[in-house]
Chains A and B, each alone.
Chain A
């Protein structure tokens, strides 16, 4: 009977709120979204993400979707590999990387959050988990963003990817000897590349707050 129900899974929400930093309200909203995507099921699979047309238009959708099934993002130490389906807890954990920041944070906490977000993005591209984004993986990203047909020819896209990689190499390694081998972007290099980038403020989902006074019309 509707009026007498309490919020479902409340003790579970408390645990999740502590782990992810979302408020109860935000968890409730995301839980509804989870149910919508999974058709009221308990788990989400990769195919369930294909029901979002906006996401399908995104060139890096496969990386984004993979990030949800990547165990490195589940905040368990040293977990690797991918899973086939995720429950609401894992969904929330991955989402928490995009959590809006609390205002009252000191610099050290901000740094921790920044590192977390950067690590998440790094993992998204380092698909073989060897600790570096190799030339191949980087080129893959660039090619995905550029069009494979039409406006840009394959050679041009490849050329842009190579140029970008060269720039990355020169920033990270400085001047390279002719026989030196550039393996790829490590996490430190990645960090250096994005030093001026305001990851904390750019990588956030801002939830709306409903003002109760507008309810009664």
Chain B
């Protein structure tokens, strides 16, 4: 009778050694065996076939609703003055007519049906189904072949890819903790810096392989240099892995407990990162000063900051908080754009916690992402921190093909400030009163006389 434990152990050893050879060794040297590339190509073929099949199915059954990724309604997009002009037929000014209210009715109803901000905090809607159950919002049964392929996909993702990815994740975290602790024992020499970089890079590379990530870096000549600050748009915690695959950064963040805490403490042993206690974060000056100290030191790694403050769904860029831009130094903007066909990278922290988010990501097809390095920017004399932040944000939005939005990412959790509510009222009243002042007011007797 065979010994079941013996065979299980042997299989496990074979599995681990295959992984070591095929994944870890290439990761050490930054090479790739090309397996992920082939996988992505096959996936693209399958998804294109699926799209055509769904289209054909739609033509046969026209009652199937079509998803609209660009917004639901047609908006005029004119300014308040233009619309009032249309409504009145003449330039508004001097008095109030009932028709003026129509502009506000229409705007109100339109924002009820479709508004920009709420859309930013829900996952991007795909134009065609990518064979994942979770993105199946409007797609219904079309054909047997499609369903079979979807079923095979489920099996591959959950029974083949998922265990592989979990193993890789465990290996990478173990590697990181061990290697950085060992490097931390060395004295401060350039050899230590180099070893620490290798250790970190290996960790991130194994993680990236663990997610089947294909990352394309553009304009590598603009890569962030030491003593600078790297800012990027934020979609998911995986952004860090994506960026750190290319060079090492000094991370900025809050001290956590548990597994994250272990990782943080071991990382900081080999090279300086900036971790804040929760109480320190409340005081803006402490934060700015510490970051300034770090940036002032020329041979420290560049800091990585996400000025939006929260995760956005990768269709637009929301307001950049000006705190990061007050530190000084050179800013290296980076634009990150995920390809939504292979998996939804957006972390909707209101809907999913970290663990379920990681599970979802590890059972998606892959992560395909484009990273653009933009030329460095510094603050000009005549602009203040918020204008500079706006300038950087527009550059990132332009390069990444994202929409540049003026809204604050904090609206995910907080309400609109009262001052914004008054803006529309002020605009309208200045139109009514006009540059000539209110007309005919002195001539009319108070209405109360009529009611006596």
Contact present for A207 and B424 (CB under 8 Å)? no
The verdict on A215 contacting B65 (CB below 8 Å), with A4-B147, A52-B117, A151-B430 known, is no
A-B contact count (CB 8 A): 213
Contact present for B108 and A58 (CB under 8 Å)? yes
The verdict on A197 contacting B140 (CB below 8 Å), with A52-B115, A147-B425, A216-B48 known, is no
Residues of A within 8 A of B452 (CB): 179
Q: Give the complex CA separation of A57 and B102 in angstroms.
A: 16
A194 within 8 Å of B by Cβ? yes
**CB-CB contacts below 8 Å: A23-75 with B:** 24-25, 28-30, 32-33, 36-37, 49-61, 64
Contact of B68 among A29, A144, A150 (CB under 8 A): A29
Contact present for A207 and B72 (CB under 8 Å)? yes
Count of chain A residues with a beta carbon within 8 Å of a chain B beta carbon = 79
Contact of A33 among B65, B114, B421 (CB under 8 A): B114
Contact of A168 among B66, B98, B137, B441 (CB under 8 A): B98
Q: Give the complex CA separation of A201 and B424 in angstroms.
A: 24
Contact present for B428 and A28 (CB under 8 Å)? no
B78 within 8 Å of A by Cβ? no
B163 within 8 Å of A by Cβ? no
How does the 8 Å CB contact mask read for B105-149 relative to A, with 1 for contact and 0 for none? 111111111111110001000011000010011111110001100
**CB-CB contacts below 8 Å: A131-167 with B:** 135, 141-142, 144-152, 156-157, 159-167
Contact present for B422 and A147 (CB under 8 Å)? yes
Residues of A within 8 A of B104 (CB): 58-60, 145
Q: Give the complex CA separation of A181 and B452 in angstroms.
A: 7
Residues of A within 8 A of B450 (CB): 169, 176, 180-182
In the complex, how many angstroms separate the beta carbon of A155 from the nearest chain B beta carbon? 9
A206 within 8 Å of B by Cβ? yes
In the complex, how many angstroms separate the beta carbon of A90 from the nearest chain B beta carbon? 14
A2 within 8 Å of B by Cβ? yes
Q: Taking CB as reference atom, which chain A residue is nearest B51?
A: A216
Contact present for A55 and B433 (CB under 8 Å)? no
Contact present for B428 and A146 (CB under 8 Å)? yes
Residues of B within 8 A of A86 (CB): none
Stretch at the interface among B2-10, B55-63, B234-242: B55-63
Residues of A within 8 A of B51 (CB): 215-216
How does the 8 Å CB contact mask read for B32-50 relative to A, with 1 for contact and 0 for none? 0000000000000000100
In the complex, how many angstroms separate the beta carbon of A17 from the nearest chain B beta carbon? 11
Contact present for A205 and B133 (CB under 8 Å)? no
Residues of B within 8 A of A151 (CB): 426, 429-430, 433
Q: Taking CB as reference atom, which chain A residue is nearest B88?
A: A197
In the complex, how many angstroms separate the beta carbon of A68 from the nearest chain B beta carbon? 8
The verdict on A52 contacting B112 (CB below 8 Å), with A5-B140, A159-B438, A176-B450 known, is yes
B407 within 8 Å of A by Cβ? yes
Q: Taking CB as reference atom, which chain A residue is nearest B100?
A: A145
Contact of A56 among B96, B114, B415 (CB under 8 A): B415
Contact of A207 among B73, B147, B415, B425 (CB under 8 A): B73
7 A/B residue pairs, CB under 8 Å, sorted by A: A56-B420, A60-B108, A142-B96, A151-B430, A159-B444, A161-B96, A164-B98
Interface pairs A-B: 9 shortest CB-CB: A2-B136, A54-B111, A147-B425, A146-B429, A206-B74, A64-B108, A2-B133, A164-B96, A28-B65
